[in-house]
Structure formats: C-alpha cells, structure tokens
Homo-oligomer: A and B are copies of this chain.
Amino acid sequence: MADPSRDTLETFENPFPGRNFVIETICPEFTSLCPKTGHPDFGTLTITYIADKHCFELKSLKLYLQEYRNHGAFYERVTNLILDDLVAVTQPRWMKIEAAFTPRGGIRTTVTVEHGVRP
C-alpha cells in the first residue's frame, strides 16, 4: 500500500461558485498507526469547507484516507498534513478539519485545524 499522496485526490468543478455554500464530509472510519507503538489508531474526521473553483471528489478522498492505514503518524501531525493536502488540491475559500480519535489509556484527543477565515 502506497504512502499517502495528494496525487490520489481528484476534484471536480464547483457547480455554484457564485455562492458561498458549505460542504461537510464526515469520515468515521479513519485509521493509521501510532509511530511509537506500531498499534493502530482510530478516529473520525469531519472536513468542512467552502469551495472556490474546485470540490474534492468523495471516492478519491476515501482512497486517499485509506493510504494512512499502514502509515505511522501522530495525531497533531496527521491532521495538519491532511489539511495541507486538501487545501493544495482544492484551494478552498475556507476549510476546517476536526479529527476525533478514540480513547487510549483512558484519555481521548480531538485535533481541530483551520485554513483561512470562514466568510
């Protein structure tokens, strides 16, 4: 399985660029590996954005996220990397990712990253 690459992501033309509308996509089946222990991590990604010229295509998003399945990544780093990739590919007016990970050692963590200012 290849390393995560933004080349996997495909886009389509925003059908209503004249309007600032919001797309929220919830991916509850994200999983990667802890770089320290090698054990799997699990989380739910909520990606919210206002597209400019391009929207990301859902099937390609799914394949892109699957590339993290055997990839080692800390919570804070992986959330920022996914934001960077999605921003690079869609150049949105605004984007936010909330990544809520399942508990480890009785503690659970959510990382929220944002690109731009919501219009």
Contacts and interface: CB of A to CB of B under 8 A. Distances in A.
Count class of interface residues, chain A? 35 or more
Given A76-B16, A77-B15, A26 B108 contact: yes
| Copies of the polypeptide in the assembly | 10
Contact of A76 (B23, B69, B75, B77): B23
B111 A106 contact: no
Interface in A64-85: 66, 69-70, 74-77, 79-80
A115 to B, nearest CB: 8
Cβ-closest 9 pairs across A and B: A21-B113, A29-B106, A22-B112, A16-B80, A24-B110, A15-B77, A25-B109, A29-B42, A26-B108
